Amino acid sequence: MSWELALWLLALCVPLLLVVQLLRFLRADGDLTLLWAEWQGRRPEWELTDMVVWVTGASSGIGEELAYQLSKLGVSLVLSARRVSELERVKRRCLENGNLKGKDILVLPLDLTDRSSHEVATKAVLQEFGKIDILVNNGGRSQRSLCVDTSLDVYKELIELNYLGTVSLTKCVLPHMIERKQGKIVTVNSFMGFMSAPLSSGYCASKHALRGFFNGLGTELYATCPGITVSNICPGPVQSDIVKNALTEEVTKSVGSSGDQSHKMATSRCARLMLVSMANDLKEVWIAEQPFLLMAYLWQYMPTCASWITSKGRKGLRTLRVVW
């Protein structure tokens, strides 16, 4: 083959490859590190077996689905949330569909806002299984109300639950992980932890605070106890009860219905990508379908432009009540 022809072929291939990569990126449902880890990295089926995993908010949505997928990996599971009957239901389904026996799953009722109970709950897990390998801080609530209409109590509740409750439980588990010099602290944050949307000012504040806290903790542990990894999982819209349970103008009022969820990512896909993240100790992952993932990149690189697109008039605001 002549040099000229080789050069022509190269000139043709490079743009073609770029177009293929662009198309792959446009179809992507996770950030590039996460997708690379899914393709080439360690598999959850090899890495997570025999671990003790404590999942908060395990009674519905992402936490529930994560419990089902974990139960197929042969881990020991601790299921926490407030409603025992729902947790028992999740336990039964884990036993029906997974590889676990009854003794491998502990149902441990826990209210994240009742911080005085967190130490006792941690001791109960250690008594049952002797160790905690992974803490999945998943429990939380969202918000759908304009700032101007929202009582300060709602802001307090969101910080108490999403931020302080999570920090409190983590602080109870941390000494045990430090003693063992290993562990994974996985926190289900949100796109709202690094970008923002209307009707969610209190939720965004609580998730931004969480991200700051866990990034700070992660750097401390990296220096002093590198066997413990800290991960922020940031999903975009995912099918769950999050909108139904979201707080509105008053603490006593929630949205009450989920609305159409067809545009949101399937809960099972989100949970799978979370497992990939855990198996590969990724520090922060973004999980969402398009166009939400593109918006996340836009918020990083063109925040003014992204902010303008996110808040496009009153009609947009009403739609966003159930979009995120």
Ligand X SMILES: NC(=O)c1ccc[n+]([C@@H]2O[C@H](COP(=O)([O-])OP(=O)(O)OC[C@H]3O[C@@H](n4cnc5c(N)ncnc54)[C@H](O)[C@@H]3O)[C@@H](O)[C@H]2O)c1
Catalytic residues: 203
Nearest distance from C-beta of residue 139 to ligand X, angstroms: 3
| CB of 61 or CB of 98, closer to ligand X | 61
Residues in the chain: 324
In this structure, what token pair is assigned to residue 111?
Answer: 């209210």
Q: Which of 258, 255, 256, 254 has its CA nearest to residue 238?
A: 258
Q: Could you tell me the CA-to-CA distances from 290 to 18, 106, 214, 286 in Å, in that order? A: 19, 37, 27, 12
Note whether 242 binds ligand X by CB under 6 A: yes
Q: How many CB atoms lie within 10 A of CB 116?
A: 7
Q: Is 44 in the site for ligand X (CB under 6 A)?
A: no
Q: Determine if 235 is a binding residue for ligand X (CB under 6 A).
A: yes
Q: Contact between 254 and ligand X (CB under 6 A)? A: no
User: What is the Cα–Cα distance from 226 to 160, expressed in whole angstroms?
Assistant: 29
In this chain, which of 38, 54, 55, 60 binds ligand X, going by CB under 6 A? Answer: 60
Task: Give the shortest CB-310-to-ligand X separation in angstroms.
Answer: 15
- Residue among 247, 240, 237 nearest 29 (CA): 237
Q: Which stretch binds ligand X (CB under 6 A): 46-54, 233-241, 250-258, 278-286?
A: 233-241
Task: Give the separation between CA 314 and CA 248, rounded to whole angstroms.
Answer: 17
- The minimum distance between CB 308 and ligand X, in angstroms, equals 22
- Give the CB-nearest residue to ligand X: 61
Q: Which is nearer to ligand X, 76 or 190 (CB)?
A: 190
* 79 contacts ligand X (rule: CB under 6 A): no
How far is residue 287's CA from residue 237's CA, in Å, rounded to a whole number?
A: 9
**Subset of residues 118 to 147 that bind ligand X, contact rule: CB under 6 A:** 138-142
98 sits near ligand X (criterion: CB under 6 A): no
Binding region for ligand X (CB under 6 A) out of 18-26, 37-45, 108-116, 117-125: 108-116
Binding status of residue 111 toward ligand X by CB under 6 A: yes
**258 scored as a contact of ligand X (CB under 6 A):** no
Q: Which of 29, 31, 241, 284 binds ligand X (CB under 6 A)?
A: 241
Residue holding tokens 């992974």? 134
272 binds ligand X (CB under 6 A): no
Measured between alpha carbons, how far is residue 216 from residues 77, 83, 213, 219, 232 in Å?
A: 28, 32, 5, 5, 12
Chain positions 175 to 204 lying near ligand X, rule: CB under 6 A, are: 188, 190
Nearer to ligand X, 148 or 195 (CB): 195
Chain position carrying tokens 């419990």: 67
The sheet carrying 228-235 orders its strands as 105-107, 76-80, 52-56, 134-137, 183-188, 228-235, 284-287
78 pairs with which residues across the strands? Answer: 54, 106
CB 273 within 8 A of CB 41: no
The answer to whether 81 contacts ligand X (rule: CB under 6 A) is yes
**Rounded Cα gap, residues 276 and 44, in angstroms:** 6
In the complex, minimum distance from the CB of residue 202 to ligand X, in angstroms, rounded to a whole number:
12
Give the interface segment with ligand X, choosing from 53-61, 68-76, 97-105, 303-311 (CB under 6 A): 53-61
Size of the site for ligand X (CB under 6 A): 28
Per CB under 6 A, 247 contacts ligand X: no
Pairing of strands 134-137, 183-188: parallel
Q: Which residues bind ligand X (CB under 6 A)?
A: 56-57, 59-63, 81-82, 110-113, 138-142, 161, 188, 190, 235, 237-238, 240-242, 245
